[in-house]
Amino acid sequence: MKKETFEWVQSWCDYADKNDKPRVLLVGDSITRGYQGIVRELLKDVAYVDYLSTSYAVDNKLYSQLVEGMAKNSDYALIHFNHGLHGFHMSPRTYKSKIKNLLLRIRGKSKLVLAETTVVYKEGNKRLHTGWKKRVNERNEILGELATELDAELNRLYSVSERIAKNDRHNDGTHYAPKGCEILADAVAECVKSLLK
């Protein structure tokens, strides 16, 4: 287990006291944090949308405690899991093992959606980040395997993120400007809506 220079946690629950609509949990990192508000707005007539986003990696004990605690705190119809851009140090085997064990503990009766990790460019968005390209490919392959093993849906956000224009990304090569967040949010909301029907 390795920690990053700065670690953070953010969460929000909409109308936590109400149960007249299905409740959805978005679990992720800063990419989820970027699109969650738009997803909430897009689904406001369909579901209550909560989210938990954090920089802690999936091999950190606190990460498991946070996600498991949040997932078991409400009766979620669907959990959308999108957390692949932290914990660069983890081997594919460790990444798969940690995620699979966590998902088995939190799923309950919830439908599961595993969202692919988004593309990472070098600063300036001109070239792919070589190190992260390998990690992202490994992790997305693992998510595909887990989707089959756990009978979960796979949300192919990688290909969505590839199509986002340079002007709709932040210069850091990882994060998204408002329009980019909108594009990702549309893909997430459509996936959730189709599974809640």
pLDDT tens, position by position, 95-137: 999 999 999 999 999 999 999 999 999 999 989 999 999 999 9
- Provide the pLDDT confidence category of residue 3 given band limits of 50, 70 and 90: confident
What is the percent of the chain where pLDDT is above 90?
Answer: 95
19-62 tens-digit pLDDT: 999 999 999 999 999 999 999 999 999 999 999 999 999 999 99
pLDDT of residue 1: 78
For the domain spanning 9-196, the CATH number is 3.40.50.1110
Question: Any idea where the domains of the chain sit in the sequence?
Answer: 9-196
- pLDDT at position 48 is 98
The secondary element (H helix, E strand) that includes residue 149 is helix 130-149
Which residues have CB under 8 Å from 120's CB, separation 6+? 85, 128, 129, 132, 133, 136, 173, 174
Quote the CA–CA distance of 156 and 106 in Å, as a whole number.
22
Specify the pLDDT at position 125. 92
Alpha helices, DSSP H only, in 80-120?
92-106
Work out the pLDDT band at 2, boundaries 50, 70, 90: confident
Q: Residue 197 — very low, low, confident or very high, per pLDDT cuts 50/70/90? A: confident
Residues 176-183, mean pLDDT to the nearest whole number: 98
Q: What is the pTM of this model?
A: 0.96
pLDDT reported for residue 78: 98
**Mean of per-residue pLDDT scores for the chain:** 96
